[in-house]
């Protein structure tokens, strides 16, 4: 399987045009996190280093073909005194498969500082066989994520939120040391953030067979982090209805700092018998 460094290395065709590589995959459709991560790489490469990304909002419009490269077209929407904005379209065979807007904020601004606390959970090293990831019906996903250490915290190992309809808690990280560039870790987290999140909607429905696909995806980058250090992905699914599920995730570093927030809506459509 391709390493994340290969996945996130784009060819610059022109000032605002990039090509993402076709990545060897066991999946027929391109993994959504790959498209989001590559789109963010394209946007980041059109903004100065002094303005790191602080948010992105993307829509998965068509399934991508994992055998095909993706061309990313960037529009410069704004370059103000403190913020920059970019729009990116991921295109295959002349059709847009992914659309994203990203916002960048100048480093060094100051203001009030607070964040939620991380819930008390076992350390990832404490989770043995019980923490192994077993995405339902998704052997291909396990192969796809072979470079990542993903450990699901059993529900009886933490205090649940009694007001949450569905919840799941996951430790994850790259198994290999990654480059030190903070922008690379942000783009890597864009890739990682699509891992396991939509599956949190199925926790109350363990025997339901569904077709799953990401529909839209938003990330807010709140504090510095490394994707090769342990991160806790605290996930909830406040609603599932009409074949769609809303999911949310808060990402903490091991010190308990809230480093990112993710929201995703996905297709969770009941499969007809025999499909």
Query: Catalytic site residues?
Result: 194, 214, 264
d(CA 192, CA 190): 6
Other residues' Cβ atoms within 10 Å of the Cβ of residue 225? 23
Which residue blocks in the chain are alpha helix, DSSP H?
Answer: 4-7, 32-44, 139-144, 182-192
Strand ranges of the sheet holding 231-241, from the earlier edge strand across to the other edge? 11-14, 17-20, 70-79, 83-92, 95-105, 53-60, 210-221, 258-270, 244-253, 231-241, 167-174, 148-152
Task: Tell me which residue has tokens 């077993």.
Answer: 134
**Longest pairwise C-alpha distance within the chain:** 57
Strands 244-253 and 231-241, how do they pair?
antiparallel
Is 104 in contact with 45 (CB distance < 8 Å)? no
In total, the chain counts a number of residues equal to: 275
Nearest to 40 by CA among 127, 98, 108, 80: 98
Within 8 A by CB and 6+ apart from 22, the residues are: 66, 67, 68, 69
Interior/surface letters 142-163, b for 16+ CB within 10 angstroms, e for the rest: eebbeebbbbbbeeeeeeeeee
d(CA 12, CA 190): 20
Residue 207 pairs in a beta bridge with none
């Amino acid at each position: 399987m391709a390493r994340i460094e290969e996945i996130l290395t784009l060819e610059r065709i022109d000032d605002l045009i990039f090509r993402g590589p076709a990545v060897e995959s066991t999946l027929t459709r391109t993994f959504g996190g790959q498209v989001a991560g590559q789109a963010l790489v394209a946007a980041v490469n059109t903004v100065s280093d002094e303005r790191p990304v602080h948010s992105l909002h993307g829509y998965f419009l068509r399934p991508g073909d994992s055998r095909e490269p993706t061309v990313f077209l960037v529009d410069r929407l704004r370059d103000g005194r403190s913020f920059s904005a970019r729009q990116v379209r991921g295109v295959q065979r002349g059709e847009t498969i992914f659309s994203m807007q990203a916002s960048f904020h100048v480093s060094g601004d100051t203001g009030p500082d607070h964040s939620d606390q991380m819930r008390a959970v076992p350390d990832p090293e404490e989770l043995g066989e019980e923490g192994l990831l077993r995405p339902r019906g998704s052997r291909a996903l396990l192969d796809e994520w072979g470079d990542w250490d993903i450990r699901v915290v059993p529900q009886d190992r933490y205090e649940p939120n009694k007001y949450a309809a569905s919840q799941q808690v996951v430790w994850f990280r790259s198994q290999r040391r990654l480059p030190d560039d903070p922008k690379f870790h942000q783009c890597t987290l864009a890739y990682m953030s699509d891992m396991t999140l939509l599956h949190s909607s199925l926790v109350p429905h363990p025997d339901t067979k569904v077709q799953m696909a990401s529909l839209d995806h938003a990330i807010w980058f709140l504090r510095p982090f490394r994707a090769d250090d342990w991160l806790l992905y605290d996930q909830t699914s406040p609603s599932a209805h009409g074949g769609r599920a809303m999911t949310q995730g808060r990402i903490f570093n091991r010190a308990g700092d809230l480093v990112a927030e993710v929201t995703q809506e996905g297709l969770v459509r009941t499969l007809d018998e025999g499909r």
